[in-house]
């Protein structure tokens, strides 16, 4: 787990770069204030903090689902504030994969087609999408469940399907929002192992969690408290956090 931090070439832009970012909501709520950070290409990072600390706001900004009130957010070198809504959609379609606590799988749709929806908005024809989906299912070890519907699968399996959907387009940045929150310990561990494996394959993975155990297993931990970064625990030069 040590030498994977710089698995991509040096000239690759950072996966995400935040500079003096604030996000205020109407009514004076300051969800984030003065946040600056940098997530390198291919890095595995945990964002940790109690609920209401601003973790979700941070995830939305990293995922270009939201724009900052102040400061700048750059994702894979693109200034999100300068992109149009369609430009941000294209960035999400091509470069960002999401994993949610509640899986968000479509009922009555097979695992294969759920995964294929991950590249629905990339312009690929349906046959290519299904081929890629089959490959992604193999990566998460569920190739034999391709024809199953979500209700026929366990929670852990559903979350692995959701992870397959996040990675099917081979994005440079994967954002996982409490990915183990709805799972028992064993399934949760399997999901974290899977995310580590994706990170090893070259994608930057950001795991948002309030679970200290999950956080402890990650090489870098950014602690968020009251909308600010309280601590940024970088890995020690060898074996930190493992």
Partner 1 sequence: MRLSAADLLRTGASGLRARPLRVVLSALGIAIGIAAMVAVVGISTSSRAELDARIARLGTNLVTAAPDDSLFGGKAKLPQGAAARAEHIDGVRRASEVAQVTGVSVYRSDRIPEEESGGITTYAADLGLLETLRVRMAEGEWLNAATSEYPAVVLGAKAAEQLGVDRVGPDTRVLVGDEYHSAVGVLAPAELAPELDRAVLVGWDAASDRLAMDGHPTTVYVRADPERMSGVRDLLGRTLNPQRPHEVKVSRPSDALQAQEAVDQTFIGLLLGLGGVALLVGGVGVANTMVISVLERRSEIGLRRALGATRGQIRGQFLVEAMALSALGGVSGTVLGALVTAGYALSQGWLVAIPPWALVGGAGDPVPIGALAGLLPAVRAARTSPTRALRAG
The site for partner 1 (CB under 8 A) is made up of: 56, 60, 63, 65-66, 85-86, 89-94, 96, 98, 100, 102, 104, 106-109, 117-118, 120-123, 125-126, 165
| Structural contact between residues 15 and 23, judged by C-beta atoms closer than 8 angstroms | no
> Least Å distance between CB 42 and partner 1?
22
Of 92 and 220, the one with the shorter C-beta distance to partner 1 is 92
Of 72 and 122, the one with the shorter C-beta distance to partner 1 is 122
Of 62 and 222, the one with the shorter C-beta distance to partner 1 is 62
Of 6 and 65, the one with the shorter C-beta distance to partner 1 is 65
> Least Å distance between CB 75 and partner 1?
13
DSSP H or E stretch at residue 186: helix 185-200
> Least Å distance between CB 144 and partner 1?
24
Give the N- to C-terminal CA distance of the chain in Å, as an integer: 8
- Report residue 216 CA to chain centroid gap: 18
Contact partners, residue 154, CB within 8 Å, separation at least 6: 187
Distance CA 178, CA 188 (A): 10
Distance CA 163, CA 172 (A): 14
> Least Å distance between CB 242 and partner 1?
30
Of 1 and 135, the one with the shorter C-beta distance to partner 1 is 135
> Least Å distance between CB 102 and partner 1?
5
Distance CA 116, CA 236 (A): 39
Beta bridge partners of 221: 46, 233
DSSP H or E stretch at residue 58: helix 55-62
Distance CA 227, CA 34 (A): 8
The candidate with the shortest Cα–Cα distance to 233, out of 57, 219, 89, 56, is 219
> Least Å distance between CB 119 and partner 1?
8
Sheet holding 96-99, edge to edge: 96-99, 173-177, 204-209, 44-48, 220-225, 228-233
Of 49 and 63, the one with the shorter C-beta distance to partner 1 is 63
């Amino acid at each position: 787990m040590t030498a994977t931090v710089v698995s991509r070439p040096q000239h690759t832009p950072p996966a995400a770069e935040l500079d003096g970012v604030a996000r205020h909501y109407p009514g004076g709520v300051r969800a984030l204030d003065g946040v600056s950070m940098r997530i390198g290409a291919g890095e595995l990072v945990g964002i940790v903090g109690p609920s209401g600390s601003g973790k979700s706001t941070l995830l939305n900004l990293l995922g270009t689902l939201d724009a900052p009130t102040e400061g700048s957010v750059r994702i894979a070198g693109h200034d999100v504030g300068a992109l149009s809504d369609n430009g941000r959609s294209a960035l999400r379609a091509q470069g960002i994969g999401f994993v949610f606590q509640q899986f968000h799988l479509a009922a009555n749709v097979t695992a294969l087609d759920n995964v294929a929806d991950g590249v629905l908005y990339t312009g690929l024809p349906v046959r290519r999408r299904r081929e890629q989906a089959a490959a992604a299912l193999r990566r998460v070890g569920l190739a034999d469940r391709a024809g199953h519907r979500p209700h026929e699968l366990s929670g852990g399996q559903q979350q692995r399907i959701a992870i397959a959907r996040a990675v099917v387009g081979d994005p440079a940045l994967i954002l996982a929002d409490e990915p183990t929150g709805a799972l028992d310990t064993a399934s949760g561990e399997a999901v974290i192992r899977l995310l580590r494996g994706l990170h090893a394959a070259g994608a930057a993975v950001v795991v948002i969690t309030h679970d200290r155990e999950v956080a402890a297993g990650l090489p870098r931990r950014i602690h968020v408290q009251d909308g600010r970064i309280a601590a940024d625990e970088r890995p020690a030069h060898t074996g930190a956090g493992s």
